[in-house]
């Protein structure tokens, strides 16, 4: 009697699964390897399939291949994506048996599994994005209105990765706020983390109301505007480069692309409201007046509410007004969608 090897097991797959419990990508490893399939056994026994690997990623993870093309956008909790298929198992001798040769010695080894290089980018699905200069009090404000525990300190640059907080209203409606890192005023390029604003319904510009702040409240407002606008310019330039490279009719001297595509719509065009922090500090009325005078003349209709909301994480000034306004905005855009 000849060999009686059964078929080998398939190699494990690798899945990505969106989880509403995660809010960052810091837990991810550089490399994941799924288990090999087991060899087939004697007496025609099949080998066991390799175990699948499931990698949890936050909701809002955008998965790209090494060329930068989007493979999938995981926007609902529980969404799964098979990113790497395990190789098929090998064929044992019994597969090659026939009338002429009932006990063949031939067998085929299993297939090599896929190797996939992918990049995962997180674009938070937050309803509101909180933007402002370092130390403006973004994390403190998020903690106050969402009851979330976040790291706060007087060292600028405390928040390095975005965090989500949730406000749950009495009628169980819930909306989320992304507490983002601070925008450095002198940074030449718009910071990458502004990508988290792309999906927000609306933005909250938080102006630092510290009595001794280096930048005037109005100046801070325009620094935020400038960075939001610059972010789009950076992305536009990158997208244009890609499109130019891809274009069959590539003309390096005279290429004019349409810019009214959705991708080109600016973060500076997102509806926004303005808050001033640290309203417990002296000079509060003066700062609010300076900013409100500017906002009263601000020509852009993306400003949702024409006055700055004064807030304090210390004495809770503005806490309920802000919650109320966010609820209004949330409702307004939800109905519009
Ligand atoms: N007096 C006063 N101080 C505040 C208030 N909110 C925040 N601070 C202080 O301001 C400093 C910065 O607060 P954070 O909440 O960490 O500021 P942030 O904008 O998140 O800072 P980055 O993450 O570094 O961008 C801390 O020392 C806070 O204690 C406030 O309402 N009143
Ligand atoms: Mg912070």
Give the model's pLDDT for residue 160.
86
Alpha carbon separation from 334 to 142, 202, 331 (Å, rounded) = 22, 11, 5
Q: What is the mean pLDDT of residues 166-177?
A: 84
Provide the 10 A C-beta neighbour count for residue 40: 26
Report how far residue 44's alpha carbon sits from residue 3's, in angstroms, rounded to the nearest whole number: 9
Q: pLDDT tens for residues 26-43?
A: 889 989 988 887 787 777
User: How confident is the prediction for the chain on average, in pLDDT?
Assistant: 83
Index of the ligand 1 atom closest to the CA of residue 143: 15
Q: Which one of the ligands is nearest to 312 CA?
A: 1
Residue 228: both structure tokens together: 């939001």
More confident call, 112 vs 243: 112
224's enclosing H/E stretch is helix 217-246
Nearest to 70 by CA among 144, 124, 120, 141: 120
Q: 266, exposed or middle or buried, with CB in 10 Å at 0-12, 13-18, 19+?
A: middle
| Distance in Å, CA 138 to ligand 2 centroid | 5
Distance of CA 261 to the CA centre of its chain: 21
In the sheet where 61-65 sits, what is the strand order? 70-74, 61-65, 118-122
More confident call, 293 vs 176: 293
Report how far residue 308's alpha carbon sits from residue 290's, in angstroms, rounded to the nearest whole number: 10
Q: pLDDT tens for residues 69-106?
A: 888 888 888 999 999 887 787 777 777 777 777 777 77
More confident call, 148 vs 137: 137
More confident call, 165 vs 68: 165
Q: Is the CB of 137 under 6 A from ligand 1?
A: yes
Q: What is the mean pLDDT of residues 234-245?
A: 57
Which residues fall inside 5 Å of ion ligand 2, going by CB? 138-139, 158-159
Residues 298, 304, 305, 307, CA torsion sign: negative
Distance of CA 209 to the CA centre of its chain: 29
pLDDT at 15 over 80: yes
Alpha carbon separation from 86 to 36, 50, 53, 78, 118 (Å, rounded) = 8, 8, 10, 21, 16
Highest mean pLDDT among 57-66, 104-113, 244-253, 304-313: 304-313
Give the model's pLDDT for residue 2.
62
Give the model's pLDDT for residue 334.
65
Distance of CA 237 to the CA centre of its chain: 21
- The superfamily CATH assigns to domain 128-336 is P-loop containing nucleotide triphosphate hydrolases (3.40.50.300)
Report how far residue 182's alpha carbon sits from residue 257's, in angstroms, rounded to the nearest whole number: 33
Q: Tell me phi and psi for residue 205, to 5 degrees.
A: -90, 120
pLDDT at 7 over 50: yes
Mutation test residue for ligand 1: of 138, 140, 280, the one with most atoms within 8 Å of CB: 140
pLDDT at 247 over 50: no
Mutation test residue for ligand 1: of 133, 151, 152, 318, the one with most atoms within 8 Å of CB: 152
Report how far residue 228's alpha carbon sits from residue 205's, in angstroms, rounded to the nearest whole number: 11
pLDDT at 253 over 60: no
Give the model's pLDDT for residue 264.
46
Report how far residue 178's alpha carbon sits from residue 163's, in angstroms, rounded to the nearest whole number: 6
Q: Residue 113 — very low, low, confident or very high, per pLDDT cuts 50/70/90?
A: confident
Nearest to 77 by CA among 56, 62, 53: 56
Give the model's pLDDT for residue 1.
57
Q: Where in the chain are the domains?
A: 1-122, 128-336
Q: Residue 324 — very low, low, confident or very high, per pLDDT cuts 50/70/90?
A: very high
Instruction: Look at the domain 1-122 and name its fold.
Output: Spo0b-associated Gtp-binding Protein; Chain: A, (2.70.210)
Q: Is the CB of 277 under 6 A from ligand 1?
A: yes
Q: pLDDT tens for residues 284-318?
A: 999 999 999 999 999 888 999 999 999 999 999 99
């Amino acid at each position: 009697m000849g060999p009686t090897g059964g078929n080998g097991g398939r190699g494990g797959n690798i899945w990505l699964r969106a989880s509403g419990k995660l809010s960052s990508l810091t837990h991810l490893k550089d490399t994941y390897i799924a288990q090999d399939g087991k060899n087939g056994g004697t007496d025609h026994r099949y080998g066991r399939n390799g175990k699948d690997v499931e990698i949890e990623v936050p909701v809002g993870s955008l998965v790209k291949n090494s060329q930068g093309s989007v493979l999938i956008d995981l926007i609902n909790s529980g969404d799964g994506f098979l990113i790497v298929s395990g190789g098929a198992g090998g064929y044992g001798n019994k597969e090659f048996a026939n009338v002429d040769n009932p006990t063949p010695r031939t067998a085929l080894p299993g297939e090599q599994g896929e190797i996939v290089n992918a990049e995962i980018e997180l674009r938070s699905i937050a309803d509101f994005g909180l933007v402002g200069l370092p130390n403006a009090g973004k994390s403190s404000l998020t903690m106050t209105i969402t009851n979330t525990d976040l790291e706060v300190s007087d060292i600028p640059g405390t928040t390095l990765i975005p965090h989500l907080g949730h406000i749950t209203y009495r009628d169980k409606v819930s909306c989320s706020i992304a507490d983002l890192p601070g925008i450095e005023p002198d940074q030449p390029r718009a910071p990458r983390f502004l990508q988290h604003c792309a999906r927000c319904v609306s933005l909250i510009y938080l102006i630092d109301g510290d009595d001794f702040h280096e930048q005037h409240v109005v100046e801070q407002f325009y620094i935020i505007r400038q960075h939001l606008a610059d972010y789009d310019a950076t992305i536009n330039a990158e997208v244009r480069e890609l499109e130019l490279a891809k274009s069959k009719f590539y003309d390096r001297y005279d290429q004019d692309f349409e810019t009214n595509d959705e991708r080109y719509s600016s973060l500076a065009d997102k509806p926004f409201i303005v808050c001033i922090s640290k309203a417990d500090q002296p000079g509060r009325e003066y700062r609010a007046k300076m900013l409100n005078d500017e906002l009263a003349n601000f020509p852009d209709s993306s400003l949702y509410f024409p006055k700055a909301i004064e807030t304090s994480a210390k004495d809770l000034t503005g806490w309920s007004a802000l919650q109320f306004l966010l609820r209004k905005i949330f409702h307004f855009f939800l109905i519009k969608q």
